[in-house]
Amino acid sequence: MARAAEMQKAVFGGAQASELERSGGADPLRIPRPYLLFLGDETNPGYAKSAFGIRDWAAEDCVGEYSYGDSTLTLGLPEMTPQVAAQHGAKALVIGIANSGGVILEAWRPHLIAAMDAGLHIVSGMHARLGDVPELAEAARANNVRLIDIRRPPANIPIASGRKRSGKRLLTVGTDCALGKKYTALAMARGFEARGIDVDFRATGQTGILIAGGGIPIDAVVSDFEAGAAEMLSPDAADGHWDIIEGQGSLLHPGFAAVSVGLLFGSQPDAFVVCHDPSRTEVLGYPGTPLPDIAEIIEATILLGKRTNPAIRCGGISLNTKSYDAQEAQALIEETARRYGLPAADPIRGGPHFEALLDSCLA
Amino acid sequence: MARAAEMQKAVFGGAQASELERSGGADPLRIPRPYLLFLGDETNPGYAKSAFGIRDWAAEDCVGEYSYGDSTLTLGLPEMTPQVAAQHGAKALVIGIANSGGVILEAWRPHLIAAMDAGLHIVSGMHARLGDVPELAEAARANNVRLIDIRRPPANIPIASGRKRSGKRLLTVGTDCALGKKYTALAMARGFEARGIDVDFRATGQTGILIAGGGIPIDAVVSDFEAGAAEMLSPDAADGHWDIIEGQGSLLHPGFAAVSVGLLFGSQPDAFVVCHDPSRTEVLGYPGTPLPDIAEIIEATILLGKRTNPAIRCGGISLNTKSYDAQEAQALIEETARRYGLPAADPIRGGPHFEALLDSCLA
């Protein structure tokens, strides 16, 4: 994890500065660190992807984790109260879990207030604004700490122009939410960097923004401006430069397709990688709704994506094999590569399959 | 036009009441009438679709039109100043034009202030809020009139559930913006009504909302909630009931695809009609970007739409033939029907082709 944090600095150092300038110094880009990661009483790891992501990619910035009630969920970090975390140097409590709808649960309030009483700022990636909850606003005032909503998009996002930009772009897409689009983008940025390629990771969600220190919370953007936000996120760049853009949702998702489509149109990707979890058969949170096939996602991505980049192509498949042992994972990866005639790899496992995926995307 | 206004009342009477209740009585649904339609100094009729739509479908509510500068654009209504309009009974000035980005132009301000000085409320469908312009807010206070932003979506839109709803739905889609999706939906609602079918027109844009007196400004919804807003717009209904939903943008539009996709997923249409203007070769406002073919729109609509309604089918094609004479229009309609093997009609021209389109959608 220390290595991941080092790599993160190498990869994102430049991106942080440019994002900060571009945003006009908006609050989301000045997040006090290190963090205490708040898990609520969540038990489903699928809803704690923010916490896991920060742990894995910004480990040096994590002092500990904090949950309440019957939660069996753990990040493997030291469990500590806000008060103890503050004594260990924590500067902010980060809400590391999400729920459908992005609401700040009433049950969280006493815990967030306790954190503020301990002197911690509160950082949230939820749709709902922390400051709209009167008790939280009052506690922030009383303790002179900040309520930081990283889901607040920058002002003045334009309507997309559709103009083709210079530089190269890669977008991670997926068969569902929460199955590895951010991880894949982060790992590929690291892989490109290791090959000496000029690359920026472009964050589109709360965790990515916390890791990278900048980006646009793309699903919080008004739909008319969605593609325009994606254009803003990856501006013109040098010819050999790559932006690796964190995908969101899925083109075929019953709730979030609009987010994915706007991001695709505005990103104008030269290459995309389809992220998939072979253990998942239904859309997360939508029982009875079958997961689309990888081939359907490729078809839809090319059909739509070629409108703003006629050269769009699928670079390969990223499999999330965390539910499998090494041998099963290897077999799944090879079977998937054969079935779709494309490189397949689990970027977290790395190895020659992953190098082949990088080769294919750069080809 | 009087007939259109009568039909409008017949078609939308029920919808108005239910929308009003459902929205919790939000401002957009209590719009003072009749209107003075403001055209600014716009010269391109493509940007004045709101004004034309209100004139055609709510004629009895239009006292006159008002433009300034070199505008040659006219609705054929009496041209009058706000003061004269107020003397003729007008209650509100409606901004009847749009621009890319939805901004309230500085040049409009003195005209809007003059209208408020004459006692008129101001109604806007722009993205930007009237009340955010200090001079307008001040004039509204001074004259005790309202600034009504009908683009403000209702609060508490949920994330889409993806649950299949009862009743039947038809969505108008298109090869571009501003080529007849609202007109087609209105004309089809009238056509269904004439056949004794229980039908509601569901408005998704500013003009539709002004005509119907209710609806959701779908392109102003945050993208994560886009499909949820579409679900809210056409709730469960009786088995034989049809909702005819006003489409927005185009699935293949460089700027607005996100809007169209969310609306498609949440609408779960049983049938869709592709709206197209044969005189248009490039996307409006995007010179150099070719218009997609009708077949591409059908392909994309079915590929995505079948995720929330596997029974989705194309009911036919609606051609906007306003640039052609009757004979040319007839030829275009017949050629289009042959080429795609689907009923084609210009709903504004009506006739047997239009009846065949209705038959096909109801089949």
Which one of B119, B149, B179 terminates a domain?
B149
Asked if the model's pLDDT at residue A10 lies above 60, the reply is: no
Task: Please give, rounded to a whole number of angstroms, the shortest distance from the CA of A118 to a CA of chain B.
Answer: 33
With 0-12 / 13-18 / 19 or more C-beta atoms within 10 angstroms meaning exposed / middle / buried, residue A2 is: exposed
Query: Is the minimum CB–CB distance between B100 and chain A shorter than 8 Å?
Result: yes
- ipTM greater than 0.85: no
Minimum-distance CB partner of A219 among B224, B259, B289: B224
Residue at A14 is within a domain:
no
Query: Is the minimum CB–CB distance between B222 and chain A shorter than 8 Å?
Result: yes
Low-confidence ranges of chain B (pLDDT < 70): 1-30, 213
The pair of structure tokens assigned to A224 is: 């008319």
Domain shared by A314 and A236, yes or no: yes
**B259/A307 touch (CB, cutoff 8 Å), yes or no:** no
pLDDT tens digits, A93-119: 999 998 877 889 999 999 999 999 999
Residue at B49 is within a domain:
yes
In this prediction, what percent of chain A has a pLDDT beyond 70?
91
Domain shared by B203 and B116, yes or no: no
Query: Is the minimum CB–CB distance between A222 and chain B shorter than 8 Å?
Result: yes
Reported residue count of chain B is 363
pTM exceeds cut of 0.90? no
How far is it, in rounded angstroms, from Cα B350 to Cα B353? 7
Report pLDDT for B26.
36
Domain shared by B143 and B205, yes or no: no
How far is it, in rounded angstroms, from Cα B124 to Cα B106? 14
**B222/A221 touch (CB, cutoff 8 Å), yes or no:** yes
Q: What is the DSSP string of A147-166?
A: EEETT-PPS-PPPP--PPPS
**A261/B256 touch (CB, cutoff 8 Å), yes or no:** no
CB B66 within 8 A of CB B96: no
pLDDT tens digits, A131-179: 999 999 999 999 999 998 888 888 889 999 999 999 999 999 999 999 9
Amino acid letter for position A320: N
What does each C-alpha distance from A72 to A38, A67, A114, A285, B223 come to in angstroms?
13, 9, 21, 20, 33
Domain shared by A145 and A193, yes or no: no
Residue at A137 is within a domain:
yes
**B258/A220 touch (CB, cutoff 8 Å), yes or no:** no
How far is it, in rounded angstroms, from Cα B285 to Cα B104? 18
The pair of structure tokens assigned to A54 is: 């920060």
How far is it, in rounded angstroms, from Cα A39 to Cα B327? 68
CB B124 within 8 A of CB B115: no
CATH number of residue A203's parent domain: 3.40.50.300
Residue B286, Cα to own-chain centre: how many angstroms? 21
Q: Which of A124-128, A272-276, A342-346, B139-143 has the lowest mean pLDDT?
A: A124-128
CA closest to A250 among chain B residues: B304
Backbone angle region of A300, left / alpha / beta, with phi > 0 → left and psi within -120 to 50 → alpha: alpha
| Other beta carbons within 10 Å of B105 | 16
Q: Between residues A164 and A12, which one has the greater pLDDT?
A: A164
Domain shared by A279 and A355, yes or no: yes
Which residues of B fall within a CB distance of 8 Å from A223? Answer: 218-223, 226, 256, 258-259, 262
Query: Is A48 strand, coil or helix?
Result: coil
Report pLDDT for B16.
34
How far is it, in rounded angstroms, from Cα B334 to Cα A17? 59
Task: Please give, rounded to a whole number of angstroms, the shortest distance from the CA of B303 to a CA of chain A.
Answer: 7
**A223/B102 touch (CB, cutoff 8 Å), yes or no:** no
How far is it, in rounded angstroms, from Cα B345 to Cα B9? 25
Give Cβ neighbours of residue A17 (< 8 Å, ≥ 6 apart).
none
| Other beta carbons within 10 Å of B101 | 15
How far is it, in rounded angstroms, from Cα A184 to Cα A172? 7
Going by C-alpha positions, the residue among A3, A359, A4 that lies closest to residue A186 is A4
How far is it, in rounded angstroms, from Cα B253 to Cα B249? 7
pLDDT tens digits, A285-344: 999 999 999 999 999 999 999 999 999 999 999 999 999 999 999 999 999 999 999 999
Asked if the model's pLDDT at residue A21 lies above 70, the reply is: no
Cα(first)–Cα(last) distance of chain B, in Å?
30
**A219/B220 touch (CB, cutoff 8 Å), yes or no:** no
Report pLDDT for A271.
98
What's the pLDDT band for A212 if we cut at 50, 70, 90?
Answer: confident
Query: Is B97 strand, coil or helix?
Result: coil
Domain shared by A188 and A283, yes or no: yes
| Other beta carbons within 10 Å of B184 | 30
Geometric angle at alpha carbon A233, from A21 and A173, rounded to 5°: 150
Which one of A118, A149, A180 terminates a domain?
A149
Asked if the model's pLDDT at residue A187 lies above 60, the reply is: yes
Domain shared by A142 and A243, yes or no: no
Residue at A12 is within a domain:
no
Going by C-alpha positions, the residue among B72, B56, B60, B67 that lies closest to residue B93 is B67
Minimum-distance CB partner of A221 among B223, B265, B286: B223
B276 DSSP β-pair partners: B319
Residue at B26 is within a domain:
no
**B161/A254 touch (CB, cutoff 8 Å), yes or no:** yes
Residue at A7 is within a domain:
no
B296-331 burial by CB neighbour count: b if 16+ within 10 A, else e? bbbbbbebbbebbbeebbbbbbbbbbeebeeeebbe
Query: Is the minimum CB–CB distance between A18 and chain B shorter than 8 Å?
Result: no
Minimum-distance CB partner of B257 among A101, A227, A252: A227
Report pLDDT for B30.
59
The domain total for chain B is 2
How far is it, in rounded angstroms, from Cα A160 to Cα A139? 40
Reported residue count of chain A is 363
Minimum-distance CB partner of A224 among B220, B254, B307: B220
What does each C-alpha distance from A200 to A245, A329, B89, B330 come to in angstroms?
8, 29, 60, 55
Task: Please give, rounded to a whole number of angstroms, the shortest distance from the CA of B314 to a CA of chain A.
Answer: 18
Residue at B175 is within a domain:
yes
How far is it, in rounded angstroms, from Cα A181 to Cα A186? 9
Task: Please give, rounded to a whole number of angstroms, the shortest distance from the CA of B338 to a CA of chain A.
Answer: 25
Which pairing describes strands A92-95 and B271-276: parallel, antiparallel, or unpaired? unpaired
Domain shared by A185 and A299, yes or no: yes
Which one of B114, B149, B184 terminates a domain?
B149
The pair of structure tokens assigned to A225 is: 């401006």
**Angle, nearest 10°, between helix axes A257-267 and A226-233?**
50
Domain shared by B90 and B131, yes or no: yes
- Domain residues for the domain of A256 are 168-362
What's the pLDDT band for A30 if we cut at 50, 70, 90?
Answer: low
Query: Is the minimum CB–CB distance between A343 and chain B shorter than 8 Å?
Result: no
Residue at A159 is within a domain:
no
Domain shared by A141 and A39, yes or no: yes
Domain shared by B357 and B225, yes or no: yes
CATH number of residue B47's parent domain: 3.40.50.720
Domain shared by A304 and A269, yes or no: yes
Backbone angles phi, psi at A64, to 5 degrees: 180, -175
CB B140 within 8 A of CB B122: yes
Which residues of B fall within a CB distance of 8 Å from A159? Answer: 100-101, 255
Give Cβ neighbours of residue A331 (< 8 Å, ≥ 6 apart).
none
Query: Is the minimum CB–CB distance between B303 and chain A shorter than 8 Å?
Result: yes
